[in-house]
Chains A and B, each alone.
Chain A
Amino acid sequence: EAGVAQSPRYKIIEKRQSVAFWCNPISGHATLYWYQQILGQGPKLLIQFQNNGVVDDSQLPKDRFSAERLKGVDSTLKIQPAKLEDSAVYLCASSLQRGQGRDTEAFFGQGTRLTVV
């Protein structure tokens, strides 16, 4: 079974530029997450989708971040304009379902390491 695919793996941009990340979840996984992991910290949830609807985006800085999940499969996360503090690893994850239970564990991609200079 193929895992969660993310691209690019690395990105360096100047502040005020825009950037987009792409994620392809595991086939059949209805729930998709985007996390931001700043160096030395745990992942912080930015947005959670159930199919193509948003479940939670309370911690997404909506003035600069946007995300979409077309047709309930692939997802893109965009930052425009980027700030220095956006430097982090952006992790995409998917799970078979929400709630509790053995099938609710999230499977993660390798992440995109963003450096804003």
Chain B
Amino acid sequence: AQKITQTQPGMFVQEKEAVTLDCTYDTSDPSYGLFWYKQPSSGEMIFLIYQGSYDQQNATEGRYSLNFQKARKSANLVISASQLGDSAMYFCAMRGRDTDKLIFGTGTRLQVFP
């Protein structure tokens, strides 16, 4: 069975600083994809970044990067130069090759302060 674990219910970061949001996963699928989504208070889920299990390099998308450590089964999101607009819930998600379901963790609430 697949499982995503996000152990940080909430995180605070000062504007312009970097922050790391933790995500660990468990799967028996040999091939899988990892996703991060942002959910502002308005409710929509916004796709941020994708990492494939066989990708050799860590994914980056602008200020977002994914610190992928396959042996440790972790896929942490790093946000550089935090902005006030980054305040939101952040969800880690995974899809396996064989199960094909996109499952989510419980989320981390990030608050950026001036």
Contacts and interface: CB of A to CB of B under 8 A. Distances in A.
Interface string B82-114: 000000000100010100111111110000000
Contacts of B68: none
Contacts of A35: 104
Given A41-B106, A41-B107, A108-B46, 5 more contacts: A42-B106, A48-B101, A104-B33, A104-B95, A106-B45
A107 B47 contact: yes
Contacts, number: 64
Interface residues of A, number: 28
B106 to A, nearest CB: 5
A82 interface: no
Given A48-B101, A98-B100, A100-B97, A106 B107 contact: no
Interface of B: 4, 31-33, 35, 37, 42-47, 50, 52-53, 91, 95, 97, 100-107
The residue among A48, A98, A105, A111 with the most chain B CB atoms within 10 A of its own CB is A105
A48 B100 CA distance: 10
A108 to B, nearest CB: 4
A43 interface: yes
Nearest to B59: A102
B33 A43 contact: no
Contacts of A41: 106-107
Contacts of B52: 100-101
B51 to A, nearest CB: 10
